[in-house]
Amino acid sequence: MDVDTIWMDGEFLDWEDAQVHVLTHALHYGTGVFEGVRCYDTEDGPAIFRWEDHLERFYQSGKPYDIEIPFSPEELTAATMELIDRQDLDSCYIRPIAFYGYDRLGLSPEGIPIQTAIACWPWGTYLGEEAITDGVDVMISSWRKYASSQIPTNAKTTGTYVNSVLAGEEARRNGYTEAVVLNKEGNVAEGPGENIFMVNDGELYTTGLSESILDGITRQSVIDIAEDLGYEVTETSISRGELYTADELFFTGTAAEVTPIRSVDDNEIGEGTRGPVTEELQQRFFDIVEGRVDGYDDWFTHV
């Protein structure tokens, strides 16, 4: 990797020196929150996509856990800008994280210092280069998504990603590229690191916020982009069976961007390739994030 610096607790450190103690609270109990953000190489130079929305979610994610991030949004923004600038990155993935550090073990984090770090590195397509054009094969995971009555699903918490790891690895062990997880009620929730959309008769559907999903920023962006193109978008509950008979399906996420789904449990979706509505939205999404469309300026923070 062509990167050498990580910002941690207010300082720029050499990549190798950004370390924590082995008795870090978050390592034992998963008590950290994080973000995933992309910076795109636009016509006007590097620009971070929806930075303010990601920052807001970062602070909000900490609330249920009393993780009060000890840096202001301005300080985190300045640190990120400098990281991108110093390392000459034009497009990259940005990973802010805040977590309970080291003082003592025991479940209660009271009095344990909160550590904050930001790393940036180049990250290409999430599910493979061909995934963007050809789509991915997914399986319905035998693992359910944890319910929002058990752990807040709108917070991006480090520990809860064990659920995503179980589902994703089960799918890959079985020869699929990615999983889809059902919620406790048995309806569709999302992917291990993606939200999901369905297209039927030229209209869009996506799982609602009460389906135990992460409130994805790409999901909200795609809803806005689709509506701007004249599509109707409904946030609803989607059953497993509806996935099998959908005209088109696709994932959204910061890492996954807009990735078509071509089969579910070996059932072809539509023609078994990227569908036309998915292709149109995907093209529009890339045109917007790479700065080729006017009217979305407030989604960008220029470096």
The C-alpha atoms of residue 222 and residue 228 are separated, in whole angstroms, by 10
Read off the tokens for 218.
């790409």
The count of residues interacting with ligand PPE (CB under 6 A) is 16
The C-alpha atoms of residue 58 and residue 40 are separated, in whole angstroms, by 20
Minimal distance, residue 210 CB to ligand PPE, in Å: 15
Minimal distance, residue 214 CB to ligand PPE, in Å: 4
For Cα atoms 190, 73, 119, give the angle at the middle one, nearest 5 degrees.
Answer: 65
| Contact set for ligand PPE, span 158-177 (CB under 6 A) | 164
Residue with Cβ nearer ligand PPE (113 or 128): 128
What are the two backbone dihedrals, phi and then psi, of residue 117, each rounded to the nearest 5 degrees? -145, 155
Indicate whether 216 belongs to the interface with ligand PPE (CB under 6 A).
yes
Nearest to 190 by CA among 149, 154, 151: 154
Residue with Cβ nearer ligand PPE (102 or 296): 296
Indicate whether 196 belongs to the interface with ligand PPE (CB under 6 A).
no
Indicate whether 253 belongs to the interface with ligand PPE (CB under 6 A).
yes
Residue with Cβ nearer ligand PPE (92 or 112): 92
Residue with Cβ nearer ligand PPE (13 or 151): 151
Minimal distance, residue 106 CB to ligand PPE, in Å: 29
Indicate whether 195 belongs to the interface with ligand PPE (CB under 6 A).
yes
Element of type H or E holding 267: strand 267-268
Indicate whether 219 belongs to the interface with ligand PPE (CB under 6 A).
yes
Residue with Cβ nearer ligand PPE (184 or 273): 184
Exactly one of 151, 255, 265, 279 binds ligand PPE (CB under 6 A); which one? 255
Indicate whether 214 belongs to the interface with ligand PPE (CB under 6 A).
yes
Indicate whether 254 belongs to the interface with ligand PPE (CB under 6 A).
yes
- Active-site residue, 63 included: no
Q: Residue 23 in contact with residue 105, Cβ under 8 Å?
A: yes
The neighbour count for residue 257, using CB atoms within 10 Å, is 23
Minimal distance, residue 58 CB to ligand PPE, in Å: 11
For Cα atoms 93, 221, 132, give the angle at the middle one, nearest 5 degrees.
Answer: 60
Indicate whether 218 belongs to the interface with ligand PPE (CB under 6 A).
yes
Q: Long-range contacts made by residues 224-228, C-beta under 8 angstroms, separation at least 24?
A: 225/281, 225/284, 225/285, 225/288, 226/281, 228/295
Which residues, at least 6 apart from 31, have a Cβ–Cβ distance to it below 8 Å?
25, 65, 67, 99, 100, 109, 157, 158, 159
Catalytic annotation, residues: 156
- Per CB under 6 A, residues contacting ligand PPE are 36, 164, 190, 193-195, 214, 216-219, 252-256
